Each structure stands twice: as C-alpha cells, then as structure tokens.
Amino acid sequence: MEQFIPLIVLIAIFYFLLIRPQQKQQKQRKEMLDNLQKNDKVITIGGIHGTIKDIKGETLTLKVAESLHITLSKFGVQSVVNEEANSEE
C-alpha cells in the first residue's frame, strides 16, 4: 500500500497543475462565446479586428471595414476587446 502513496500524490499534483486550469480556461472561453452580442468589438483567431453586426446561431457577421463584412464561426473569435481598457492607455 505504501508504494501507491507517491503515485496518488503525483496524480493529484498532475490534476491540479494541468487538468484543472485547462477546464477553467475552457469554461471561461465558452462563457465568453455565449455572451457575444451585436456591436461587440472582437479579435479573431487570425488576428482580424472587427465589430459584430449580426449573430445567427453559431455564425456571426463581422464588420472589418466600412464596406467589408465577413461571416465566420463563433469559435473563430479569440477575444472581446474591452473598450474601458483601451481608453485608459
């Protein structure tokens, strides 16, 4: 039985250092994607900056220039740009 104690401790450390933070990050990303709204400023995974003009199910239309709109999957959004953080800089 004493042989298994280091193994159990190693598994617990592995869980709290690797698996738990990844689950937390996935939960935050899902929450961010679920809370996307029209007129939010976002950055895509490809680095394109734009404003959400329409959301239909799992796709959204992003305005990237005055006359340029692109349609992409919600999962292509990397982050929402925080207006307050930009105004402080």
What's the pLDDT band for 70 if we cut at 50, 70, 90? very high
pLDDT digits (tens, 9 = 90+) for 21-45: 999 999 999 999 999 999 999 999 9
Domains of the chain and any CATH numbers: 4-80 (2.30.30)
**What single-letter amino acid sits at 15?**
Y
> Which of 79, 53, 59 lies closest to 71 in space, CA to CA?
59
Return the number of other C-beta atoms located less than 10 Å from residue 52's C-beta: 19
The DSSP code sequence of 34-66 is HT--TT-EEEETT--EEEEEEEETTEEEEEEET
pLDDT of residue 82: 81
